[in-house]
Amino acid sequence: MDAIFSNLKRTFRSGNILTKLIYINVGIFVIIRLTAVLFLLFNIRDFSLLTWLQMPSDPQQLFYHPWTVVTYMFSHYDFLHILFNLLWLYWFGGIFLLFFNERQLGGLYVLGGIAGAILFMLAYNIFPYFQEIASSSYLIGASASVMAIVFAVSFYRKEYEINLFLIGRIKLIYLALFSLLLDLLAMTSTNAGGHIAHIGGALLGIWFAARMQKGKDLTAPMNRIIDWFVNLGKPRKPKMHVTYKRPETDQAYHARKNQENADLDAILDKLKRSGYESLSGEEKKRLFDASKK
């Protein structure tokens, strides 16, 4: 048993942000279900761990549980719910990392979840249709966060195609828009809150893509906040001593630029011969950086 936990801990620490997000969701799911079984064994039926993790639509309840704006997006109770959410997160998170970095994925996951939570609360407290259930409705699941990731990469690379079973190759943006249409049609269903949160995450993803196309990273402020929380309690590192390099000579500058152009030409030749998927991660990054200049 110790070896299993050691392997899980090592995999978590060495994995990328996508792996960490999946592990966190699965870990919280297991804890929620195990505590539910334990409470039932002792006939404790008036308490649930979800009470402290799910986000209420009632602003007064949220005032006493403000952390649920974040905890809800990592919480699941039904197996199929977490299964489909994490499958989408794994597939589309991998595509996202082809064009963006891990910090942007983590920041967008949180921002998408928050956007979904805000739209969920607004809808349940504005539209008369939800008036009778607004005080007893709650939101859980990573769906809004996943939708933000799906729509971010779909609108940033509108020409990107994927293979769908029985359908064949299709542009990712068509799949995203189709899922958005389903959510709009299901806004008055039994899972109205979840579908409304999906729309909030999708809108945030579109906004992220639009800002990135202008060179602005929407996740940067959120990542600074996440860094602050992660580093709480850790000893501060000593300030680095900065040394300044001498200015580059004209000869060295031209030599460096000629080498960069030669490297870029080689990448473009490889792209033309073998396609985008044949490029390494470093080559994709250099191609992306060059496209912004």
Within 8 A by CB and 6+ apart from 162, the residues are 95, 169, 170, 172, 175
| 3-class state of residue 99 by DSSP | helix
The ranges assigned to domains in the chain are 2-230, 250-292
Q: What is the largest CA-CA distance in the chain?
A: 80
| 3-class state of residue 243 by DSSP | coil
State the Cα torsion 138-139-141-142 to the nearest 10°.
-170
Token reading at 193 = 């809150």
pLDDT at 243: 62
Q: Does domain 2-230 correspond to CATH entry 3.40.50.300?
A: no
Reported as type and span, the H/E element at residue 169 is: strand 168-171
Residue whose token pair is 């392997």: 7
pLDDT at 293: 63
Nearest-angstrom CA–CA distance, 112 and 147: 7
pLDDT at 289: 76
pLDDT at 288: 74
Mean pLDDT in runs of 10 for the chain (293 residues)? Answer: 74 87 96 93 85 94 95 96 95 94 96 97 95 92 97 93 83 93 94 96 97 93 89 70 65 75 78 73 76 66
State which amino acid sits at residue 118. I
CB 191 within 8 A of CB 124: no
73-118 tens-digit pLDDT:
999 999 999 999 999 999 999 999 999 999 999 999 999 999 999 9
Backbone angles phi, psi at 170, to 5 degrees: -150, 145
Mean pLDDT across the chain, nearest whole number?
Answer: 88
Q: For the beta carbon of residue 201, count every other beta carbon within 10 angstroms.
A: 32
Question: Which of 190, 210, 204, 60 lies closest to 130 in space, CA to CA?
Answer: 190
